[in-house]
């Protein structure tokens, strides 16, 4: 069994009033490695607690580390230290998750007609790539766990794709490729209670910073951090992209 933990960055709303990109990242974890990864995450969190005073129960949330909005406990940590937590986490991800894989979908919202279309297409691409990975590389079954999201719509999409999922053929037509290696409906967890989903939050947000760098943050080099996780990216997800990022 393989578990894919999913989180998003950006929002699926209208571009003029929100983010220019909608990003989904999925961290694929082999069941047999889950306990090892959790132990490594706990070790990392202990180092963060010892260095910066951030308690184990406090969520690591990438956007909040950069600019505090809701997490009040971050106010006791100066901004340079919060950025250092984010940098340290990023550098630890390919070490902690040395046998995992990451799928990334990054859609430019202005290329699509509606927010609903962006979200549905992004999830379709992510689910399809995960199912292909399960069939071809892992030869295994899998399930998906995400942060709280629009679960009902994603559930309907997953059920539809399990039966009917037209995929373009190299020969011009399309064929049906049901995503039947993914078990159950989408399961959801509050990211505050899952180190794994917090990890995907960091990945997705750093991809957003790479795609849409902000001038005031360039002194921290945040736009370069996503490249650190290159060793565990599933580049087969989009062979035309150097980092395997699905863009359409």
Cβ neighbours for 89, distance < 8 A, ≥ 6 positions apart: 44, 48, 60, 199, 202
pLDDT for 174 equals 87
Share of the chain above pLDDT 90, in %: 85
Please state which CATH class domain 2-238 belongs to.
alpha beta
End-to-end CA distance of the chain: 28
- The three-state secondary structure class of 111 is helix
Which DSSP letter does residue 77 get?
Answer: S
Cβ neighbours for 32, distance < 8 A, ≥ 6 positions apart: none
Please name every residue paired with 175 in a beta bridge, in sequence order, or none if there are none. 167
Strands 142-147 and 187-189, by their bridges, are: parallel
pLDDT at 146 over 60: yes
Nearest-angstrom CA–CA distance, 178 and 128 = 9
Instruction: Name the pLDDT band for 17 (thresholds 50, 70, 90).
Output: low
Cβ neighbours for 227, distance < 8 A, ≥ 6 positions apart: 210, 243
Instruction: Name the pLDDT band for 78 (thresholds 50, 70, 90).
Output: very high
pLDDT in tens, 80-107: 999 999 999 999 999 999 999 999 999 9
Residue 107 near residue 22, CB atoms below 8 Å: yes
pLDDT at 13 over 90: no
pLDDT for 151 equals 84
pLDDT for 147 equals 92
pLDDT at 77 over 60: yes
pLDDT for 106 equals 98
Average pLDDT over residues 15-31: 88
pLDDT at 150 over 90: no
Q: Where are the domains of the chain?
A: 2-238
Residue in the structure block whose two tokens are 């995907």:
200
What mean pLDDT is reported for the chain?
94
pLDDT in tens, 116-137: 799 999 999 999 999 999 999 9
Instruction: Name the pLDDT band for 216 (thresholds 50, 70, 90).
Output: confident
pLDDT in tens, 179-212: 999 999 999 999 999 999 999 999 999 999 999 9
């Amino acid at each position: 069994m393989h578990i894919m933990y999913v989180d998003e960055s950006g929002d699926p709303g209208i571009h003029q009033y929100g983010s220019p990109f909608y990003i989904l990242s999925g961290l694929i974890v082999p069941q047999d490695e889950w306990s090892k990864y959790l132990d490594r995450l706990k070790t990392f969190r202990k180092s963060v607690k010892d260095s910066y005073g951030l308690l184990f129960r406090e969520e690591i949330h990438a956007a909040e580390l950069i600019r505090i909005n809701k997490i009040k406990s971050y106010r006791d940590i100066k901004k340079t230290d919060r950025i250092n937590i984010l940098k340290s986490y990023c550098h630890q991800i390919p070490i902690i998750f040395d046998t995992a894989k990451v799928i990334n979908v990054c859609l430019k919202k202005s290329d699509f007609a509606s927010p609903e279309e962006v979200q549905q297409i992004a999830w379709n691409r992510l689910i399809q790539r995960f199912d292909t990975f399960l069939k071809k590389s892992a030869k295994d079954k899998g399930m998906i766990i995400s942060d709280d999201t629009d679960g009902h719509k994603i559930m309907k999409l997953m059920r539809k794709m399990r039966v009917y999922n037209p995929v373009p053929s190299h020969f011009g037509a399309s064929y049906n490729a049901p995503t039947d290696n993914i078990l159950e409906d989408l399961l959801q967890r509050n990211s505050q209670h899952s180190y794994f989903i917090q990890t995907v939050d960091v990945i997705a947000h750093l991809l957003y910073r790479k795609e849409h760098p902000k001038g005031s943050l360039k002194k921290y080099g945040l736009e370069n951090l996503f490249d650190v996780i290159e060793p565990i990216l599933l580049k087969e997800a989009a062979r035309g992209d150097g980092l395997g990022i699905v863009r359409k």
